[in-house]
Amino acid sequence: SLSRRSGQAQSPLPQLLAEADHLVYRDGQLHRTASNAAELHADSLPEPEAADSVTALNAAFAGGGLLLKLGRGQHRARPLQVLVAGSAGQTMVHQRHRIELGDNAEATVIFQFAGQGGARLGTQVIDIVLAPGARLNLYRVQDEQAGATLLTRIDARLDRDSHLHAVAVDCGSGLVRHDFNVNLAGPGAETD
């Protein structure tokens, strides 16, 4: 079914994963009805330390995004799907997200970027901090439309014996840039 917002028809959201919790954004705004993990949304996040053109553009326009903080030994039982969906007529979407896992904490996060029609510029900045022994499975799936430009920057700092397993899949879009920066900040830290 189509809904109306700002006088424009919106396409239905892409399929949500049945076995996951969901944080859903449409055109950069939290979609509370479709989100069963809305408590993980933050209206604003601190600017990342890294300074490059993508981060600067994102900082100038970024709205809220995911803020996932797990304390020592906490394990998120279900994966978290963060769906960022764009609509025809929306020309820019800029968001910042942060994942902080305490000592020996574990989580799985799936970022999915999907758009419906039209030219659009998006920046997504994801900051990750893993404390000693923390484990994060991170999946990034991009399926934007041909007229879209998506610039993603992921900055990860891994402390002693922490592990980041990351998978990135790009299916669509006109122009995609994905900067992935990992700081192995302690002995035994690893990423694959």
Residue-wise pLDDT for 50-73, tens only, equals 667 788 888 888 888 999 999 999
Q: Residue 8: its pLDDT value, please?
A: 45
Pairwise pLDDT comparison (114 vs 36), residue with the higher score = 36
Residue 107 clears pLDDT 80, i.e. is over it: yes
Say if strands 65-70 and 41-42 run parallel, antiparallel, or are unpaired. Answer: antiparallel
CA distance 117 to 119: 7
CA distance 134 to 24: 25
What is the average pLDDT value for the chain, to the nearest integer? 87
